Amino acid sequence: MRWVLAVPEDSKYKKPEDLEGARISTELVRATEEYFKKINVNVNVEFSWGATEVKPPDLADAIVEATETGSTLRANHLRIIDTVLESNPQLIANNRALEDTDKRTKIENIALLLRGGHGSKRGRVGLMLNIEKDKLDTILSALPALQKPTVSALSDDKWVAVSTVLEERAVRELIPKLRAAGGRGIVEYPLNKIVL
């Protein structure tokens, strides 16, 4: 995960040094202060209680925010001018806690959810569509999945719903093929967690 310095798209700020005297909003106050101290730029860093990306330009001149793809920043008309820091989430437990069966189980469950929410979903999306039953085999043969696509009945007995998880890079070419094969109501959606 990257913590980036971002400004409004139409901002006069092109590089971090341009932010002398600016207001910076972030949830990562100390690291942001250290970043600007290293580059000798005086700024006013303010703690953000959330929704940081909507603060510029009225409540802040720039923000420091966590991002993986930058899509939320772009959706809020912000552009990245630098990376403040890169981090990897880590779960740390003391050995005595791991010796306790109940605590160990809780720690392992947290680790499972963290893995599901972080690395395993990277580059994957969900895809749903409706298809007439007589065309189902054609769709299933073309549709990648983690294991097998899910097929569910619809209120119209002639149709079924199909859902799957696949690599995001495959979607652009796959959707037109699914449509040509009879797929309707095709929906691509982001994933929060995948627990394998």
Residue 101 in domain: no
| Residue 96 counted as domain residue | no
Q: Which of 116, 156, 164 is nearest to 140 (CA)?
A: 164
75-to-2, 15, 87 alpha-carbon distances in Å: 17, 21, 23
Kindly state whether residues 16 and 68 are assigned to the same domain: yes
179 belongs to a structural domain: yes
Residue (of 1, 193, 27) closest to 110 by Cα position = 193
Give me the pLDDT at residue 87, please: 82
What tokens appear for 76 in the block? 């809020």
- Domain assignment of residue 112, yes or no: no
**Is 110 part of a structural domain of the chain?**
no
d(CA 2, CA 69): 9
In a domain, 143, yes or no: yes
Residue 68 resides in a domain: yes
pLDDT per residue as tens digits for the range 33-58: 999 999 999 999 999 998 899 999 99
Per-residue pLDDT at 118 = 55
The structure's pTM equals 0.54
Whichever domain contains 156, its CATH number is 3.30.70.120
Q: Among 57, 86, 115, identify where a domain stops.
A: 86
Q: Single out the residue in 59, 86, 113 at which a domain terminates.
A: 86
> 177 versus 24: which is more confidently predicted?
24
77 and 9, same domain (yes or no) = yes
pLDDT tens-place string over residues 84-133:
999 877 888 999 999 999 999 998 888 877 765 555 556 788 899 999 99
At 147-188, the pLDDT tens digits run: 789 999 999 999 999 999 888 888 888 888 898 899 999 998
Contact 171, 188 (CB under 8 A): yes
Q: Which residues pair with 160 in a beta bridge?
A: 131, 153
pLDDT confidence tier of residue 12, bands split at 50, 70 and 90: very high
3-class SS at 20? coil
pLDDT of 65 over the 80 cut: yes
Domain of 132 in residue numbering reads as: 124-189
From CA 193, how far away is CA 196, in angstroms rounded? 10
Give the total number of structural domains in the chain.
2
Nearest in space to 127 (alpha carbons), one of 52, 54, 177:
177
